[in-house]
Amino acid sequence: MIKKASLLTALSVTAFSGWAQDSGSDNLVVTANRFQQSTKTVLAPTEVVTREDIERWQSRSLIDVLRRLPGVDIAQNGGLGQTASVYVRGTEAKHLLLLIDGVPVARSGISNDPELNQIPLSLVQRVEYIRGPRSAVYGSGAIGGVVNVITMTDSEKSQVNASIGSKGYQTYDGTLRQRFGDTVATAAGSYTSTRGFNVQPDSTWTHDEDRDGYRNKTFWGSLQHKFDDHFDGFFRGYSFSNNVDYDLGSAPYSPDYSADERQLYVQGWDTGLNFNQGIYSSQLLASYQKSKDYNYSSIYGRYNDGTTLDDMEQRYIQWGNSITVGKGSLGAGVDWKQERLVSSNQSTSDSYDRDNTGLYLNGMQQFGDVTLEASGREDKDDAFGWHGTWQTAAGWEFVENYRLTLSYGTSFLAPSLGQQYGAKRFGIASNPDLKPEESKQWEAGVEGLTGPVDWRLSAYRYEIDNLITYSDTAYYNINSATIKGVEWTGSVDTGIFSHRVTLQYIDPRDDETNEVLPRRAKRQAKYQLDWSIFNVDMDLAWEYFGKRYDNRTSIYNPEQRVLPSYSTVDLSASYPVTSHLTVRGKIANLFDKEYETAYGYQTAGREYTLSGSYTF
């Protein structure tokens, strides 16, 4: 099951790993405050998903992994690789900050949504997921929560994997690790493809009647070197390419709007140095990301009418420091990010660039039964100047194994480059007066260990202002929203069975119209059951999502369209044939439920997967 430290876990605050390397313990995280700490001392709701969890669940994508986690609701335009929006606690998809090894992932295009559906699962060794505001630690984007995808691990094992499944699904990947004295070298690669299915069967355009497939190639390599007992470093690079077919829903009125295929190329290079001596740790990290995102017509080809290209570069430097003080830590640092984007079609090109410098200070301290946490950050952006955020939280273990938590935080989201500076190819004008979206969030929680049941109950409220909305010819700060919610998570072991339950109710509303925000179910329930018998590891997952609305009302849609509630069941099994070879099988959507998370886009239905892995 997902690893969650109980209140019996002793306080542990150690030297942090700036590049979010796997600590070797499921009870330590680095994402919450940028220094390594026990999950017990993190006052925000926190989940850790290990590579072992991912393999037991037999997930096909990062979206499949996140779907199981508390507070997550997903709307997807079809199957593997298709556009997906991840809503955390009812906030917008763009309000989730996506990190890879602690580095914010570049956001190209106009929507400003992080594209979690495009991250190859073969890269993922661990996921740390924090719910609640974290802009006071990371800056722009961390309103609803943070997902940190960690690609590095302390494991020195090599492994090869192969999977096949329904709808032409196949994936092959391998990782080779070798130690040379104080240096560990890792090389990895993967290939995934599926023929998919027709994601819009009701489309009025005959060209949409084909299957919508997905193909991915990924390469990853790293060098990790330990110079001495206090000083180590790494260099890492990765590259992947995705090709996705999608549907338009109706015949385009012009070849300029006939794109139905996407080709995405991404590469990233990172290097870091880490110093640790006594109570002091320091880390310097530099990162470069580049992506080319083509959308083009399968009729006319990539270099003709209908083709658009977003060519994005991001440079990022971070220097962080941490010192252990008493039963806690104090952290401070600076980071700098530069974004450059060139968006073009066959006749028009838009160029943008923007720099941001952030200064942050955070700390955590335990005084007997009370734990205090505070963070503050100032961001200097080229476009809108200085922007400050802060957050504070307190936890009180009022009875042994029971803790009350209270927190308040502010967050913000900077406009995307396309929203700020316009996009000529779409007729979108610039708006130099566009402001960041801002939020205030309150949360109260109580958690405890009642007999064998480890549980947490949280109630929260978000107030989000300056929501960026397209109107007429440009983007403006128009809307505001209030989100109220209650969440309960619990886990318990009974004999050979491990149970995990999540219950959530949210009420996300537009302040002006009082309408429920679209594509978010007000009610959700998730249940996970794991057990092992005769060396066969079994996993069963049941998920329920209540009805949701697909749209906001407008002059074109005077009523909100309802998407019915649905529930699904997934069943997985794995068996270790030898100490090196494991075979696995999965049936997703066991009862073949038909449902939609976005109107007009069908889901995959029942799917089968058979896989094997060999470790050496």
CATH number of domain containing 604: 2.40.170.20
Q: Report pLDDT for 390.
A: 97
Task: Take residue 384 and report the two structure tokens written for it.
Answer: 């809108």
Q: What is the pTM of this model?
A: 0.92
| Average pLDDT of the residues in 417-435 | 87
Q: Report pLDDT for 350.
A: 86
What's the CA gap between 311 and 397, in Å, rounded?
51
Tell me if 379 sits within 8 A of 140, measured CB to CB: yes
Q: What is the dihedral of CA 112, 113, 117, 121, to 10 degrees?
A: 80
Tell me if 124 sits within 8 A of 117, measured CB to CB: no
437-450 and 402-413 strand pairing:
antiparallel
Return phi, psi of residue 62, to 5°: -60, -35
Q: Report pLDDT for 30.
A: 80
pLDDT over 70 for what percent of the chain? 96
Instruction: State the DSSP H helix or E strand holding residue 55, giving kind and residue range, or none if neither.
Output: helix 51-57
| In-domain check, residue 5 | no
| In-domain check, residue 21 | no
Task: Give the model confidence (pLDDT) of 508-540 as tens digits.
Answer: 999 999 999 999 999 999 999 999 999 999 999
Q: How many domains does the chain have?
A: 1
Residue 91 has pLDDT above 70, yes or no: yes
pLDDT tier at 316, thresholds 50, 70, 90:
very high
Task: Give the model confidence (pLDDT) of 161-212 as tens digits.
Answer: 999 999 999 999 999 999 999 999 999 999 999 999 999 999 999 999 999 9
Q: Report pLDDT for 322.
A: 94
Tell me if 431 sits within 8 A of 476, measured CB to CB: yes
| In-domain check, residue 63 | yes
Residue 66 has pLDDT above 70, yes or no: yes
The listed range with the strongest mean pLDDT (30-34, 69-73, 427-431, 474-478) is 69-73
| Average pLDDT of the residues in 258-269 | 94
Q: Report pLDDT for 611.
A: 97
Average model confidence (pLDDT) across the chain? 91
**Which residues, at least 6 apart from 145, have a Cβ–Cβ distance to it below 8 Å?**
71, 88, 89, 91, 96, 97, 129, 130, 131, 132, 134
Task: Take residue 162 and report the two structure tokens written for it.
Answer: 């192969």
Residue 25 has pLDDT above 80, yes or no: no
pLDDT tier at 26, thresholds 50, 70, 90:
low
| In-domain check, residue 15 | no
| In-domain check, residue 374 | yes
**Which residues, at least 6 apart from 565, have a Cβ–Cβ distance to it below 8 Å?**
521, 523, 544, 545, 546, 547
Burial of residue 48 (CB within 10 Å: 0-12, 13-18, 19+) is buried
| In-domain check, residue 452 | yes
- For residues 555 and 276, the model is more confident at 276
Report CA-CA distances (Å) from 514 to 71, 475, 510, 556.
22, 22, 5, 19
| Cα–chain center distance at 302 | 30
Look up the domain containing 563 and give its range.
28-615
Q: Report pLDDT for 361.
A: 97
What's the CA gap between 605 and 593, in Å, rounded?
6
Residue 3 has pLDDT above 80, yes or no: no
| Average pLDDT of the residues in 458-476 | 93
Q: Report pLDDT for 347.
A: 86
What's the CA gap between 405 and 45, in Å, rounded?
10
Region at 182 (left for phi over 0; alpha for psi -120 to 50; beta for the rest): alpha
Tell me if 36 sits within 8 A of 19, measured CB to CB: no
Instruction: State the DSSP H helix or E strand holding residue 136, giving kind and residue range, or none if neither.
Output: helix 135-138
